[in-house]
Structure 1
C-alpha cells in the first residue's frame, strides 16, 4: 500500500481492515496515526460513502442476529448462561413477540432449520397450524384478512417447546424471563413499530382487546415511548410457572416443558382462545388446539456450486423456490457478468419468475395433495425450464412446467387451470427472522410470522396474543380446484425459508429473512452475493435488491409482472432493464427484506450480519 493511499484511509476502512484480520501494524504509520489529519477519528479521514452501515459482528463463542437488538441480546444472555442455540432461539423469539408484535407471536406460525454439529444432521421444524375444522372454504375471502374468522391454529409456542425439548438445556422460566420483563415493565417502542401501529389503528380500533394494548389511552403510542403488553406478560409468566412447578415436582427437562405445552394447548390459554373465538363468531375451538402438533421433518435441499443448501420443506414454499432458482442459475457461468450491470440482474429476475410459476402451481399441504417435490428439485427439470429464459428479453409470467415427469413412481398430474371465485388478489405478509450459533457449533435459523401485519388484528381475550391470518389469499389459493385451496384442517403455505449452508459437511452459513412474497427472492440474491460475488456477509446483506411482484398473483400464468427495485440502482441499470422489456418500479433505497445471518470463513471464524432495512441487530461474544 502506498503512503499516499494509506494516508487517505478512512476510519471505516481502518475498522473494516481490522475485522477482516488485516494486521494494522503492517500499514504505514500515517495510516494509523492517533492524532492529526490522518487519525482514524479525524473529520478529514471520513469517507463520502460507507461500504456498509453496520460492522460485521465477530462471534467466536456464539451469537445471535435477530430482527431487534433486545431479541439478539436475550439470545446471547442464554448462550452466556450455558444455553444452546435452541435456548437462544426460543428466548429471542419470545422477545420478538413483545417488541415486534406486528410480525411475531407465540400464537403465530413458522419454521426452523437446525444444524446439530456433533451428528452433522440438519433437521427442519414446522410449527404451522392449519385451518380450524369449522372453517367454511366457500365463505367471504375478506373474512380471512382479519377478524375472528381469520385465525389459523396457533403453532409457534409448540415450536418453541419442540426446539427446547430436542436441543435445549435451560428451564423455560429462564428462556422467557427477558420477554416477561419487557412485556410487564415495558420497553422503548421502536419508531418503525410506532409507525406500523399508527398506520393500522383504524383496524385495531375494531377489536377492543387489541385497542386496549396497542392504542393506550385511545391513541397510537409515540416513538420511543415505554410500551407494555401486560396481558402477554401474564400469559408468558403462567407458561414459565407451569414448567417451574413441574420441575419442583420432580419432572425432568422434557416433562417440565410438556407441562407448559399443555398449559397452552389444552389448559387455560387454549380454553381462553376457544371461549373468545366462539363468543366473537370465530371458528377456532378447543379441539383444534388439542389436535395441533409441531412437526420435525427433513429439509429440502440442493447443491449449488459445490455447497449444500438446506431450507424449509412443505408447507413452506420458499425452500422449493430457493432450491429451484439456484438449480436454474447454476446452469450459467455468471462470474464474468458485472455485478452492477443489467445482464446479471436480468438473469436473476427471469430465474425467479420460472421458480415462482412452478412452485405456485404445485405446492400445497402434502397431507391433502400430491406435490412433486423431487421433480421440482431435479437438476434435469431445471435444465428444461432454463430453456424458457432469453438472456436479452424479459418473458411474460410463464405457465408451470410438468415437474411430474421428473418424479419417481406414479403421479397424478395437476389440472392446468382453475376456476376463480371472486377476488383473486394476493394479500401481503409480514414476518421476522433470526439466526443463532452456539459455542459447540450448533446453528439454528428461525423465521416466524403472524401472516399479514398484526395477523388477524384480534388479541385473543385476555392472553395478549395475536394469531396468524395465514388462511388469507396468497397463502391459500383463490381458485377452486387448486391443491392449495383452503379446507378444514388444511395448512396454508408459508413463505418462511430459514436456510443453512454446509461445505462438505462443515458449517458455512445460517440465515433467513422476512418479507412475504419477497423472502425467497431476498435470500436468493443474498446467496448470489456471497457465493458468486464473494462478498462478506454485511456487504452481501446491504447490497441493493429487487423483488418480482405479480398482479393479481403468482398462481396465474400471464399475470402482470412488475420488478420493484431499490432506489440505489443506477439510472443506467433501470434504463437497460426497461429496454429488455421489464416493467420497473423504484421503491425506497432500503426497502426489500431483512436478512439476519452468520457466515463462517474457511478458517472457521464466524461473523454475524444484520440488515439495516429494519431494526435487526447482531450480538456476539
Structure 2
C-alpha cells in the first residue's frame, strides 16, 4: 500500500532527485512521471521491493546471494560498466564477531567490534574520560565540552592510523586499554585546545582484534535488548536501483581510504589499514551499544549521521551514566563533535553564546550547526522495570513506541 511521504523525506528526496533521474529504475520509484520528486503527502509505493522482501523471507539468503537477486544485479553491472559479479555475491559471508567490552564508572559497555570503528572509539573515549569528574565540570559547560572534545580528538587521531578490517590489518586491542587511556588523558590541557597525533597503544602489533543510516533500539519483558544500526552510507546510497528489485545499492566504497590522507564524503581521512583491497570490508562509524549495570541492561543506544554516530552515542551514554538523565532527556541535550581532521569543533547552536565564545577563547575552531544527527535509545525508569523509549527530537519523522 505504500507510505505517505513526510516533509523531511520529501526534502531529502528533492536534494538527490537529479542523481536519481540518471537511472531508469531509480527514476521509476522515486520520481513522478514528469521527473519531479514526490511531495509531502504523496503516497510512495514500492511493489518491486515488496516482492524482494517476500522472496527473501520465503526462499532465504540463497535467493539473495546465489539466486535471482545476484543475477539481476550482476546483469545490470555488466550492462553499465560496473564491477560486481555473481561470484562476489556467492563468495560473501556475513561474519559473527565477538562484541567489544569495556567498563565505565561501574557500568559495562558492550559495543560493535572492527571493522566498525564505533565500538572501539566509544570505549576509548569513555576510558579517557574516566580520568575526569564530568559531573563536577557541569553538563554542557565550557569545561565539559572542552575536555570531552579533546578526548574525541585523541581517539579520532588513532582511528585514522590504526582502524580497518581486522582480517587485513592489525587493529590493536590496546586502543581500549585502560593504561593507554590514562596516558592519553594526561595529554589533555584543561585550558587550551591542542594539536595531537596518533598514539601507539600497548602491544600494537601483537595483540590485535581477530581477523543512509538508520538505528533502532528495542527491549522486551523477557530480557531481550537490541541495538541495531544499518546503513547504505550517504543519502540514497549510490542512487542506483537494480531493475526489478526495488533495492537501492549502497556507496559504502567511500568508507575506504581511496588514498592515504585524502578525505571522504564525511571529511574523514585514513591510512593503509583502511585501504581498498579485494574481499575487504570498509571501516564504518556504526556504534550500536548496550550498557549494563550489575549485569543487567539499562540502555540500548545508537545513531545515524556518519562519524557523528560515535560522538552522539558517546554523549548519550555520558548523560545517562554521569548525569542520571532518562533517555529522552539525554537525547535532547546539545551535541558537539571533534573528529581530528578537519580540526574543528562542530557544535550545535543550542549551546549558549557564552559557552561557544569561551570555547573559541580556548582555541577551538567552531563550526556552528543548527542540528546534528539522529539518535535513538531505550532505557529503564528508576523502578528498574518500566521501559523508556526515546526518539531524537531533532528528527520530525518517527517516534518511540511501546506495545
Deviation at 1:602, TM superposition (A): 5.0
Change (3 A) 1:340 1:325: closer
Structure 1 distance, partners of 2:148, 2:41, is 39
Deviation at 1:611, TM superposition (A): 0.6
Q: Does 1:266 align with 2:66?
A: yes
Structure 2 distance, partners of 1:322, 1:541, is 16
Q: Does 1:316 align with 2:96?
A: no
Deviation at 1:566, TM superposition (A): 1.1
Deviation at 1:561, TM superposition (A): 1.3
Say whether the 8 Å CA contact 1:198–1:220 is kept in structure 2. yes
Per the alignment, residue 329 of structure 2 pairs with 539
> Runs (4+) of structure 1 moved beyond 6 Å?
none
Per the alignment, residue 457 of structure 1 pairs with 239
Where do 5+ consecutive residues of structure 1 fail to align? 1-184, 244-258, 412-429, 555-559
Structure 1 distance, partners of 2:257, 2:8, is 29
Change (3 A) 1:490 1:408: closer
Structure 2 distance, partners of 1:335, 1:527, is 13
Q: Greater Rg, structure 1 or structure 2?
A: 1
Per the alignment, residue 402 of structure 1 pairs with 200
Pick from 355, 359, 367: which aligns with 1:577?
A: 359
RMSD of the TM alignment (CA)? 1.6
Structure 2 distance, partners of 1:538, 1:227, is 30
Number of aligned positions between the proteins? 388
Change (3 A) 1:228 1:213: same
SS at match of 2:77: helix
Per the alignment, residue 143 of structure 2 pairs with 343
Per the alignment, residue 62 of structure 1 pairs with none
Change (3 A) 1:394 1:594: same
Say whether the 8 Å CA contact 1:378–1:406 is kept in structure 2. no
1:297-312 correspondence to structure 2 within 5 Å: 297-312=97-112
After superposition, the C-alpha distances for 1:93-126 in whole angstroms (9 at most, x for unaligned) are xxxxxxxxxxxxxxxxxxxxxxxxxxxxxxxxxx
Per the alignment, residue 506 of structure 1 pairs with 296
Structure 2 distance, partners of 1:406, 1:281, is 44
Pick from 558, 564, 575: which aligns with 2:346?
A: 564
Structure 2 distance, partners of 1:197, 1:409, is 47
Q: Does 1:441 align with 2:239?
A: no
TM-score computed with the length of structure 2 as normaliser? 0.93
Per the alignment, residue 265 of structure 2 pairs with none
Deviation at 1:461, TM superposition (A): 2.0
Say whether the 8 Å CA contact 2:152–2:339 is kept in structure 1. no
SS at match of 1:364: coil
TM-score computed with the length of structure 1 as normaliser? 0.61
Pick from 181, 186, 191: which aligns with 1:387?
A: 186
Deviation at 1:576, TM superposition (A): 0.5
SS at match of 1:460: coil
Where do 5+ consecutive residues of structure 2 fail to align? 262-270
Deviation at 1:533, TM superposition (A): 1.1
Per the alignment, residue 189 of structure 1 pairs with 5
Pick from 301, 313, 317: which aligns with 1:523?
A: 313
Structure with larger RCO (C-alpha < 8 A, sep 6+) = 1
Change (3 A) 1:410 1:214: closer
Say whether the 8 Å CA contact 2:111–2:290 is kept in structure 1. yes
Change (3 A) 1:410 1:304: closer
Say whether the 8 Å CA contact 2:156–2:339 is kept in structure 1. no
Pick from 381, 390, 398: which aligns with 1:609?
A: 390
